[in-house]
């Protein structure tokens, strides 16, 4: 069925407009403003929490930096102590060598020979002395060669005949090359 409105225009009702209650619009606006206010409170709370976390993290970084300084100091001290220990161990190892060398020389010295000097010159040992004969000098050189871990080689620098208390003796100088 078709309906036709024959009323004059002024009296006719407006077409397509619905009456919206103002209370609904006001409720929607209040809800929207309340939602935005709630979101703003949430964001503000979250910012406060993040600032507190930032302060806590900075404090932790400060504590960790102090710990790092302590660890670095410990590492430096440990390295220094290890270097000192290495020096002490090296000195202890080297201290034994001269004692064994002098002991070996004293035991190697045959009857009829005596030493007037032992000196170290640039890693070589110069042994000076007197012997009653060439054979005593040769015995001393052979005995020194038997001290192999300490001595690498033994060479006769010179041997010459001299008078000592009106008796002929051999004055000698032996060059000993030390190991290490």
Which CATH number covers residue 141? 3.30.1360
Contact of 148 with 160, CB cutoff 8 Å: no
Where in the sequence is the domain holding 74, given as residue range(s)? 22-102
Is residue 172's pLDDT more than 70? yes
Domain count, the chain: 2
Answer whether residue 82 shows pLDDT above 60: yes
Is residue 71 assigned to a domain? yes
**13 lies in a domain?**
no
The predicted-structure confidence for 151-165, as pLDDT tens digits, reads as follows 888 999 889 988 888
Distance (Å, whole) CA 64 – CA 42? 32
- Report the greatest alpha carbon distance in the chain: 172
Q: In this structure, are residues 140 and 174 in contact, taking their beta carbons and an 8 Å threshold?
A: yes
Range from 14-28, 50-64, 108-122 that averages highest in pLDDT:
50-64
In a domain, 95, yes or no: yes
Q: Is the pLDDT of residue 111 over 70?
A: yes
Strand partners, 127: 118, 174
Let me know whether 32 and 96 are in one domain. yes
Domain termination site, one of 102, 125, 156: 102
Whether the pLDDT of residue 1 is over 80: the answer is no
Quickly tell me which residue has 């409105």 as its tokens: 5
In a domain? residue 12: no
For position 13, what pLDDT does the model report?
63
Mean pLDDT of the chain: 87
3-47 per-position pLDDT tens digit: 877 777 777 666 655 566 888 889 999 999 999 999 999 999 999
Which range scores top for mean pLDDT: 2-11, 51-60, 115-124, 147-156?
51-60
């Amino acid at each position: 069925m078709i309906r036709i409105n024959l009323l004059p225009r002024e009296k006719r009702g407006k077409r397509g407009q619905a009456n919206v209650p103002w209370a609904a619009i006001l409720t929607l606006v209040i809800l929207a403003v309340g939602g935005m206010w709630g979101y703003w409170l949430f964001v503000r709370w979250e910012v406060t929490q993040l600032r507190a976390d930032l302060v806590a993290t900075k404090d932790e970084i400060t504590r960790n930096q102090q710990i790092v300084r302590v660890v670095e100091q410990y590492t430096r001290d440990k390295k220094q102590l290890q270097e000192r220990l290495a020096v002490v161990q090296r000195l202890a190892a080297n201290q034994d060598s001269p004692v064994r060398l002098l002991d070996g020389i004293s035991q190697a010295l045959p009857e009829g020979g005596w030493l007037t000097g032992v000196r170290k010159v640039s890693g070589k040992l110069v042994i000076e002395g007197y012997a009653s004969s060439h054979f005593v000098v040769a015995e001393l050189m052979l005995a020194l060669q038997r001290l192999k871990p300490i001595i690498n080689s033994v060479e006769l620098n010179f041997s010459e005949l001299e008078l000592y208390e009106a008796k002929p003796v051999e004055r000698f100088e032996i060059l000993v090359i030390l190991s290490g």
